[in-house]
Chain A
């Protein structure tokens, strides 16, 4: 009897230990209101490119315009730094994401290059803030076939981003989650462009450079969860917090859904 009891106690203890692992952590994921609408501008730049610094100013004025008009929401802007004409501090720190998007869009030759919801913009458009604002407004009126809902959990060394994509029609494409630095400010200009402050520079891409293939049926959802390790700092550069962007694109590079949220630290 005593022997049976000790066996029961042993098994019971192990069962309790195992079940206690199912307890939920009390860290509640944060689901902030997004400050962005679902139009995405992807800007290929480099610290050695003087024209890029000018386009960066145009991007800033675009942000400023949308901050002060309509509902105060901005388009999602993300900046990549491919090694054109040479590598720069952002490329050296995170070459994978810069190369991934460069090869996705086939960006070669010269910079700057700008893509609005996957479509390449003419230089006459992206150098002119009024022209690009008009393009963005037109794009904003188009309804995307899917919507994304994101929440995040910030820990000491990582950001866990999870969420759901809901499709209004059956669709398939690649899903990417990207982490950007909202502001990266150098004490001294790192390149000949003289630009010291950079906004929304991509620092990480998940789950892989090629994204995750996702196929969703009409009115169905797809759940995702990615862990971003917090990136290393760049020497001589002051940085602010992050913005996370989740984007789904089909093989024709058309943006099917996009969502961005700011991470508060």
Chain B
């Protein structure tokens, strides 16, 4: 019952995450164009392509690459990420990111599911460091944008559909991007949030704050029975009872529906609980 309540509330928030940053519907009609008003200077900590005709705000990954290309330190973007990250960690990934929402929706399709090893989730930092920061600086090009499936979905496809004059420009790079999108869309059906766990550079940046953010998850180890419910409902396959503030945690809160009421959202200001019993004592 609690799970259904939090799910409904989260879905509502995720729908808002799709609508609000993409509210410039005029971009699709009457000579399709991109919004370039003042709201475009706002960077939200979500993966939402700013080349989408309806995009009102900017993508931090895209903006970071542009700063890398011009070899300038992006104080503004790092500041925004630090503020959001220090306050709530990866909460935006779980509650507001449109691409995360797409992954959640596609995973609901009833098919046999595949588990991916959690050991390799460090690869998202490789995408962040190489794809967003270093390679754009070295080859003066927005490397991650060229492979970003969200960019293909929100900008690549609509731009080609709306602007016939762009179609002759679609060559290998465009079709590679579409192939990457198809690959990920397929992966979303069979496995839990693979993009967020292995690739997303925005998530990688925010994840650095998960263990120190004001909002955090705590596990009452006296109540925890190690039943594995939290891992079962977790959209990123975390063993919450072991590491509730893992760098992969997207703060969706589904684990707080724990039947034993052992997992809950708290803040760093909450009183410290009694020391946790060793896991080996329980196993």
0/1 string, A14-55, CB within 8 A of B gives 1: 100110111111110000000000000000000000000000
| B141 contacts across to A, CB distance below 8 A | 22, 24-25
Residue from A6, A10, A11, A17 whose CB has the most chain B CB atoms within 10 Å: A17
Interface centre among A6, A13, A24, A156 (most CB of B within 10 A): A156
Chain B 41-84, CB within 8 Å of chain A: the 1/0 string? Answer: 00000000000000000000000001001100000000000000
Stretch at the interface among B99-107, B168-176, B228-236: B168-176
Q: Please give, as numbers and ranges, the residues of chain B lying within 8 Å of A10 by CB-CB distance.
A: 116-117, 120, 198
Judge whether B147 and A17 touch: CB under 8 Å. yes
Measured in the bound complex, the distance between the Cα atoms of B176 and A17 in whole Å is 9
Question: Which B residues between 122 and 158 are near A, CB-CB below 8 angstroms?
Answer: 123, 126-127, 130-131, 135, 139-141, 143-147
Task: State in angstroms the CA–CA spacing of A198 and B50 once bound together.
Answer: 34
> What is the interface of chain A mostly: helix, strand, loop, or mixed?
mixed
Does B171 lie within 8 Å of A156, measured CB to CB?
no
Number of A-B residue pairs with CB-CB distance less than 8 Å in the complex they form: 70
B163 touches which one: A6, A24, A156 (CB < 8 A)?
A156
Smallest Cβ-Cβ distance to B140: which chain A residue = A225
Least distance between A236 CB and chain B CB atoms (Å): 18
Q: Determine which of A20, A26, A229 lies in contact with B180 in the assembled complex, contact meaning CB atoms within 8 Å.
A: A20
Q: Is the CB of A14 within 8 A of B199?
A: yes
Q: Does B11 contact A (CB under 8 A)?
A: no
Interface size on B (CB < 8 Å)? 37
Contacts of B172 in A (CB 8 A): 23, 26
- Let me know if B247 is at the binding interface, CB within 8 A: no
| CB contact between A14 and one of B66, B117, B123, B173 (< 8 Å): that residue | B123
The reply to whether the CB of A70 lies closer than 8 angstroms to some CB of chain B is no
For the complex, give the distance between the alpha carbons of A225 and B166 in Å.
23
- For the complex, give the distance between the alpha carbons of A25 and B174 in Å: 9
Cross-chain contact B126 with A26 (CB below 8 angstroms): no
Tell me the smallest distance from the CB of A46 to a CB of chain B, in Å. 26
Contacts of B199 in A (CB 8 A): 14, 17
> Which B77-120 residues sit within 8 Å CB-CB of chain A?
116-117, 119-120
Additional A-B contacts beyond A22-B141, A23-B173, A157-B33 (19; CB < 8 A): A10-B116, A10-B120, A13-B183, A17-B180, A18-B126, A18-B127, A18-B143, A21-B131, A22-B139, A23-B146, A23-B176, A26-B171, A26-B173, A156-B33, A156-B34, A156-B166, A157-B34, A207-B70, A227-B66
